[in-house]
């Protein structure tokens, strides 16, 4: 379990409490500036909260050595940075750094899982956006973490590549890995996540099964838009009619 207990971070998070379960996909949603990426960074141990604590199992995250933490939590930042244009094989192998080994087996397995073997010797500059996103996710998988925390991993991808990456993440969740994603696209969240946390101005506005946490009234209240879901569960689309008359966009 990865649990946030009453997390407070100066003007960015205000008393967020949530216990995340492994083996499922949890989406963190919210308008711009709601604190989604900040919460993900706190859960990954990259930001130290002013108040509260994050527990990984029974252990406070702050008590773990950074390398121990890195072995258990894989973090994928939003910016797909790759300096020096290292070949995909070496890029994926960076996931083994916390373990201090070359992890040939794990690197090969991660590349195979994400269909990267044909590009193994290619530099990321010669990859498409989708291939690059898969290579960066493979880097996280090579570390064999218990948790995968990804900040808007689908943001720069087209529909096909979004679904492809979600398929890979679902496979990891089914294997018992805890997957936590910051998602802007509410339709992707409601159709593909098992659970959704909705943040509003640093506080938890909703937390639960996606159909409940992203119910129309929550969307109207938090995002300030007049909207309704259409379609069946698992194939929902959000129809936005406009801004709510009473709401000012932040």
d(CA 79, CA 98): 21
Among 13, 16, 20, 44, binds other proteins (CB under 8 A): 44
- Rule CB under 8 A: is residue 137 a binding residue for other proteins? no
Dihedral pair phi/psi, residue 138, rounded to 5°: -60, -35
- Whose Cβ is closer to other proteins: residue 55's or residue 163's? 55
User: Mask of contacts with other proteins, 143-172, x by CB under 8 A?
Assistant: x-----------------------------
- Rule CB under 8 A: is residue 33 a binding residue for other proteins? no
- Rule CB under 8 A: is residue 175 a binding residue for other proteins? no
- Whose Cβ is closer to other proteins: residue 31's or residue 74's? 74
d(CA 7, CA 48): 10
What does the block give as tokens for 168?
């890979």
User: Hey, is 57 helix, strand or coil?
Assistant: coil
- Whose Cβ is closer to other proteins: residue 81's or residue 175's? 81
- Rule CB under 8 A: is residue 196 a binding residue for other proteins? no
| Rg of the chain, C-alpha, whole Å | 18
Which residues are CB-contacts of 222 (< 8 A; sequence separation ≥ 6)?
30, 31, 34, 198, 200, 205, 206
User: Mask of contacts with other proteins, 63-102, x by CB under 8 A?
Assistant: --xxx-xxx-xxxxx-x-xxxxxxx--xx--xx-xx-x--
- Whose Cβ is closer to other proteins: residue 40's or residue 199's? 40
CB 86, min distance to other proteins, A? 5
State how far the alpha carbon of 104 is from the alpha carbons of 7, 23, 26, 41, 152, in Å. Answer: 38, 26, 30, 29, 28
Among 30, 31, 35, 45, binds other proteins (CB under 8 A): 45
d(CA 193, CA 207): 12
Give the residues across from 46 on adjacent strands. none
d(CA 91, CA 114): 14
Residues lying near other proteins in the complex (CB under 8 A) are found at: 41, 44-46, 65-67, 69-71, 73-77, 79, 81-87, 90-91, 94-95, 97-98, 100, 136, 139, 143
């Amino acid at each position: 379990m990865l649990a946030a207990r009453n997390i407070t971070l100066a003007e960015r998070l205000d008393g967020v409490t949530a216990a995340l379960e492994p083996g499922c996909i949890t989406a963190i949603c919210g308008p711009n500036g709601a604190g989604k990426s900040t919460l993900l960074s706190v859960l990954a141990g990259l930001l130290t909260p002013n108040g509260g604590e994050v527990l990984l199992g029974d252990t406070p995250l702050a008590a773990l050595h950074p390398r121990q933490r890195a072995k258990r939590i894989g973090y994928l930042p939003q910016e797909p940075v790759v300096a020096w244009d290292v070949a995909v094989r070496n890029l994926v192998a960076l996931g083994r750094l916390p373990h201090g080994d070359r992890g040939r087996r794990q690197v090969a397995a991660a590349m195979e899982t994400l269909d990267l073997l044909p590009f193994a010797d290619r530099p990321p500059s010669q990859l498409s956006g989708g291939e690059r996103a898969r290579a960066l996710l493979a880097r996280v998988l090579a570390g064999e973490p218990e948790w995968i925390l990804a900040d808007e991993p689908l943001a720069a991808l087209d529909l096909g590549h979004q679904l492809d990456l979600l398929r890979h993440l679902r496979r990891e969740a089914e294997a018992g890995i805890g997957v936590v994603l910051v998602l802007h696209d509410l339709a992707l969240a409601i159709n593909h996540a098992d659970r959704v946390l909705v943040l509003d101005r640093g506080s938890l506005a909703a937390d639960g099964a996606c159909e409940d946490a992203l119910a129309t009234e929550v969307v109207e209240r938090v995002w300030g838009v007049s909207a309704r879901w259409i379609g069946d569960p698992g194939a929902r689309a959000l129809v936005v009619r406009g801004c709510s008359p009473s709401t000012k966009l932040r």
